[in-house]
Amino acid sequence: MSRLAAMLTGDPDCADDVAADALVALWHRWDRMRRADHPLAYARGVVANMARTRIRAAVRERRRITLFWSHRPERVDAPDVATALDVRRALARLPFRKRACVVLRHALDLSERDTALALGISVGTVKSQTSKGMAQLQDLLGTRTTEELVGRRSR
């Protein structure tokens, strides 16, 4: 199973994980395994499906990373360290999806569409989560500070 996964994924370390996960899945579905006409083929199918899922997840992650790093932040000569630390603390208090939407939209200046693609969510979800996240940040930081940080509305 591990060799099959290695050939499918191209990564021996990932292959061991896929094989182990497949064994656990087969154990949980042992009744199906025993009733299968070809149990070995059934097991190989489980490995192939799990390898496909891992490959797709890796591709999505690479796309997100590429999209994230494709926009370089603007250079600032004298950053306000205290404000930056306050913003980081406030962002850390936001739930992940709200934080991700706010950061991608305002810190990296991505469009709603690009943010949705990066996070694998709909544009409508990006809009609502960004709005709610900004409102929460305003509560945590104060309206004046939030407006100074955002400056202008993103695309």
Q: What is the CATH number of the domain that holds 121?
A: 1.10.10.10
Identify the pLDDT of residue 122: 93
Identify the pLDDT of residue 153: 46
Domain assignment present for 30:
yes
Identify the pLDDT of residue 117: 85
Identify the pLDDT of residue 155: 42
Q: Are residues 103 and 140 in the same domain?
A: yes
Q: Are residues 64 and 107 in the same domain?
A: no
Identify the pLDDT of residue 130: 94
CA–CA distance, 48 with 61 (Å, rounded to integer): 20
Alpha helices in 11-151 (DSSP H): 12-28, 30-35, 39-69, 81-93, 96-102, 112-119, 123-141, 143-150
Q: Are residues 144 and 109 in the same domain?
A: yes
Identify the pLDDT of residue 72: 57
Q: Are residues 60 and 121 in the same domain?
A: no
What is the span of the domain harbouring residue 18? Answer: 2-69
Q: Are residues 101 and 64 in the same domain?
A: no
Q: Are residues 65 and 99 in the same domain?
A: no
Q: From first to last of the 155 residues of the chain, give the pLDDT tens digit.
A: 888 888 888 888 899 999 999 999 999 999 888 888 888 888 888 899 899 999 888 888 888 877 776 665 566 566 667 777 888 888 888 888 898 898 888 877 888 988 888 888 899 999 999 999 999 988 888 765 555 655 544 44
Instruction: Look at the chain and report how many structural domains it folds into.
Output: 2
Identify the pLDDT of residue 143: 65
Tell me which residue of 129, 76, 97 sits closest to 84, measured CA to CA. 76
Domain assignment present for 101:
yes
111: helix, coil or strand? coil
